[in-house]
């Protein structure tokens, strides 16, 4: 009876914050949910220039135990031009409303954020704490080269006059090895600079997070290196669990690493679903 009632109470996707389906959004990039009337909700947040498609295979095992919601962050799902002028205020718009909406319908809400989506998840959790918080390759620390580049972008105010820069130029790889064909091939500099600044501003506040926190990071992540991020979170978080993925890339939810990681992640989540 509870499951039937839960299923009736949750509105259709188009009525849920963060589940807009504008015409410009690519059909494979649209937000989606997997619902069977569970009492727990799980939110999966993609990263900057990513899409809900990054969780397509990863989300399925969780649907047996949670109602899963994968929103689309503003400006994403189409061309990078829709994203290039957005700041933190615009990127954060759906998150508080989505958390509040699901909190009224579910016993507990769990949040997962990937890369810069993890930074947004932390910012949201400081204001509206979820039952658990999971961070997949969080972007608190970038590679030394990328950190230096961000210093010059900010110093020269490049994000004010250069809207975007191709990833191939930023990474000096030809061609840039995209793990997902739907991933953008360029960085929008305004939201990149804003999210990098937000990550630094959040570091002194990390000790305020007292919910269970799970952190997964790949050893072959050439965007957000595992060691400085692990060292930072281990030092500042109280209820912290770390999962290192051998040879794992930045987008851990895709490819062969995703299935094994989902199993470990699900086991950890199940230990924290009962009050």
Q: pLDDT at position 11, please?
A: 55
pLDDT digit string (tens) for 79-126?
888 899 999 999 999 999 999 999 999 999 999 999 999 999 999 999
Strands (E), 35-145: 40-45, 67-70, 108-114, 132-136
The pLDDT of residue 226 is: 97
Report how many domains make up the chain: 1
Distance CA 30, CA 16 (A): 13
Q: Which band of pLDDT confidence, cut at 50, 70 and 90, is reported for residue 74?
A: very high
With respect to residue 119, please indicate whether it lies within any of the assigned structural domains. yes
Is 198 contained in some domain? yes
- Distance between the two ends of the chain, CA-based, in angstroms? 21
Q: Tally the residues of the chain.
A: 275
Q: How confident is the model at residue 272 (pLDDT cuts 50, 70, 90)?
A: confident
Q: Is the pLDDT of residue 10 over 70?
A: no
Q: What is the CATH number of the domain that holds 214?
A: 3.40.50.1820
Which pLDDT tens digit goes with each residue over 162-204?
888 877 544 444 443 444 556 677 888 999 999 999 999 999 9
Q: Is the dihedral of CA 87, 88, 89, 90 positive or negative?
A: positive
Sequence-ordered list of residues with C-beta below 8 angstroms from that of 132, at least 6 positions apart, any chain: 110, 111, 211, 212, 213, 214, 269, 272
Identify whether 272 is part of a domain.
no
Kindly state whether residue 143 falls inside one of the protein's structural domains.
yes
* Whether the predicted pLDDT of 20 surpasses 80: no
Domain of residue 45, residue span: 2-267
Whether 274 is covered by a domain: the verdict is no
The answer to whether residue 273 is domain-embedded is no
For residues 252-257, give the mean pLDDT: 90
What is residue 229's predicted lDDT score, i.e. its pLDDT?
A: 98
- The answer to the question of residue 229 being in a domain is yes
* Confidence check: pLDDT of 5 > 80: no
Question: Is position 275 within any domain?
Answer: no
């Amino acid at each position: 009876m509870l499951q039937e009632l839960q299923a009736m109470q949750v509105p259709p996707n188009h009525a849920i914050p963060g589940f807009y389906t504008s015409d410009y959004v690519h059909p494979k990039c649209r937000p989606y949910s997997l619902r069977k009337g569970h009492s727990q909700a799980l939110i999966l947040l993609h990263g900057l220039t990513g899409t809900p498609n990054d969780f397509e295979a990863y989300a399925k095992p969780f649907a047996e135990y949670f109602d899963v919601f994968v929103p689309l962050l503003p400006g994403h799902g189409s061309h990078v031009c829709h994203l290039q002028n957005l700041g933190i205020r615009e990127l954060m718009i759906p998150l508080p409303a989505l958390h509040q909406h699901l909190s009224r319908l579910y016993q507990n809400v769990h949040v997962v954020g990937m890369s810069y989506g993890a930074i947004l998840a932390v910012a949201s959790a400081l204001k509206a704490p979820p039952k658990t918080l999971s961070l997949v390759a969080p972007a608190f620390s970038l590679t030394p080269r990328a950190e230096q580049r961000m210093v010059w972008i900010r110093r020269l105010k490049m994000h004010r006059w250069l809207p975007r820069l191709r990833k191939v130029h930023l990474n000096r790889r030809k061609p840039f090895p995209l793990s997902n064909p739907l991933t953008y091939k360029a960085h929008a500099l305004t939201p990149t600079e804003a999210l990098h600044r937000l990550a630094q501003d959040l570091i002194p506040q990390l000790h305020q997070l007292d919910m269970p926190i799970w952190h997964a990071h790949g050893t072959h992540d050439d965007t957000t290196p595992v060691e400085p991020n692990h060292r930072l979170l281990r030092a500042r978080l109280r209820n912290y669990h770390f999962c290192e993925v051998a040879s794992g890339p930045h987008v851990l939810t895709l490819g062969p690493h995703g299935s094994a990681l989902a199993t470990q992640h699900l086991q950890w989540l199940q230990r924290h679903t009962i009050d």
